[in-house]
Chains A and B, each alone.
Chain A
């Protein structure tokens, strides 16, 4: 689908997903690393054994469908090689400290002189310029400044982030959309585009209804555990079941079905079934209109019901009766989740340490231009000779100078 395009990826662990998505869509992606490798190669978690530069599962996960080369941008030879690549490229992603490329003569103004149609995408914590653009940042501090932590967690403890780092994934995925938006603009104007992606604003987007809560309703939302906020009513979402937890949204459509299960289990009198117009229960709750059974009693029944079922029993019976009860899955549960298997989602990747890993497959299914994984993550310096030699026509000596690595 994007096979006419070449993408240069200079990001170092803070935007790998952007070019991976374009690569899955068919683009020709070249990962350009500094001598010694991308900072992403040192990002945990790590696989067992293998070469130090190849151990990062994080790096492996987000660099498929890319060729990998090394360029020493501190040398003129390295910079010239990048200039030659830019000439033939359509997109360039970078995630260094803002203005780093400018300082070595490879800023947007220089790049667009080399290639008047280049899309230059710069990924950074807070944005390319502005009062916070030079702030030191990490996954945790950006999740804080972006806002989602203020509404996650329980009131009695600190605000909470998701334990698995998410910030650079949101930002990287958004950078793919940003790049293609800028490309559409380039098609209209014929001019190169500079795109400035801010991780902080990518995290604001995860605040959903809380984003403008204060400006709209006069108060911020407070963190209060896993709950569904319906107007002023807060309804818990996580219930303990026999072998773990499940997410159950006790709203009208769900209650209309599981009220029969309550009765079956003897948790409530049979009169409950006809004693309430269950499908509209939460609408009336939301609007403060009369309801037959108070929310407390309904929640007590849900709590007592859930503990009598296992996670998968809730899912399976729910599916059979058209109601959505979601197990709180671990990665182990996920590996056995039938739906993904049935859809042929998982791929198997050969890891550099000799093991095989199950990895997430194609992001979406397309009938005419199916996405594909054509190659797995490159090892350090793997395509120096292919790209710099075969494509740019550089000699071994020139490759050694440009990459800072002996090309033999």
Chain B
């Protein structure tokens, strides 16, 4: 007997785009739900126009930025501006248990497929609207990307070097925070619905979800007026720590001394260096104060060493250490191989490509992703025929009425 999947039988309408909504729908799909991802050909999901592209050849069906967040989904390209396209969207709403959308606040209402309509069509539907600022408030229409919300939330102010302008986290940071929380919220709403039959509307603001990741610092400001800012790789509380240069082209090893045990371990890994012998640095306060000088000594010691060997040496002395891994390192990381993290799946245009796996494993269950992301409109016919059970005549009519792009 095969193990059932956690969300087997669940039906999800994914009318969202970019990262947060699609990632959340992908979770449900990877874990067994039937997900129909609706795309409008104009404007295209911007991730289809952003790299990385397979073999560096740009193309709407060659972006793995799009691919990563759209596994285990059926893709349909629907013209939501045509009456016939809207009719199909409504039929999908009737079909779905969960309906996720991420347009600018108010857009679904103007398309005639807002929550009021959805609830009339399907009283127990769980509808999720996710956007940067939430559905209400004077900035509700502030549409954009995770770098906009990341900047407003405070993650740009707190990422970078203290003597340089803000650097910011890579690309669209709040897009990486929101899916954890949104997925859990939807799963909890589904459990409530399983027990009670009751659906509901979820208004998710990516800013509001993400601010929890700065919660202690927000509390600190509100009680002491202290304003947290960027300090490179350092900590206000622990020293030394940083990414230190190693042998080779742009190779680095991160080292973090967070206790006296770690400090003793570092000194012994370094063979008891002269500069640390007098005991003057044997307190966190002294090390925080002399961080620059300590960094110079450590860098001098690390710069000709192999990053991985250095990490092993430090770990053997009980010091937290980690090579700064690039995507090429992740491909061969033995821990990730052990977890079967990357899944190689057959994509219609790109061939066999790796997809990132999940951040957790459940014993005895393969969490997928189950199948590759769709090329634009890949499952148009399958969705109309098998999901919506439309007849050949109805499908032909829909095509003539320009419901499908």
Contacts and interface: CB of A to CB of B under 8 A. Distances in A.
Are these two chains actual partners, yes or no? yes
Q: Which of A181, A215, A343 has the most CB of B within 10 A?
A: A181
Contacts of A2: 188, 191-192
A140 interface: yes
B387 interface: no
Contacts of A154: 161, 164, 167
Contacts of B159: 152, 160-163
Interface in B118-171: 133-145, 147-161, 164-171
B45 interface: no
A51 interface: no
Contact of A332 (B3, B227, B324, B350): B227
B181 A1 contact: no
Contacts of B319: 136
B89 to A, nearest CB: 22
Interface in A311-337: 315, 318-319, 322, 324, 326-335, 337
A181 B6 contact: yes
Q: What is the predominant secondary structure among interface residues of chain A facing chain B?
A: mixed
B114 interface: no
A207 B171 CA distance: 8
Contacts of B338: 127, 129-131
B198 A150 contact: no
B252 A144 contact: yes
A170 B175 CA distance: 12
Contacts, number: 544
A366 interface: yes
A188 B152 CA distance: 42
B8 A162 contact: no
Contacts of B141: 319, 322
A126 B323 CA distance: 14
B325 A60 contact: no
Contacts of A329: 151-154, 156-157
B134 to A, nearest CB: 6
B110 interface: no
Interface stretch (B90-98, B213-221, B375-383, B389-397): B213-221
Nearest to A229: B51
Given A144-B253, A283-B49, 9 more contacts: A1-B188, A129-B338, A130-B334, A136-B319, A182-B6, A183-B191, A213-B51, A249-B148, A368-B200
20 contacts: A128-B361, A131-B335, A136-B315, A158-B252, A161-B243, A163-B160, A177-B187, A196-B360, A202-B359, A206-B169, A208-B65, A216-B353, A219-B56, A245-B165, A319-B141, A324-B143, A326-B149, A343-B137, A363-B185, A368-B192
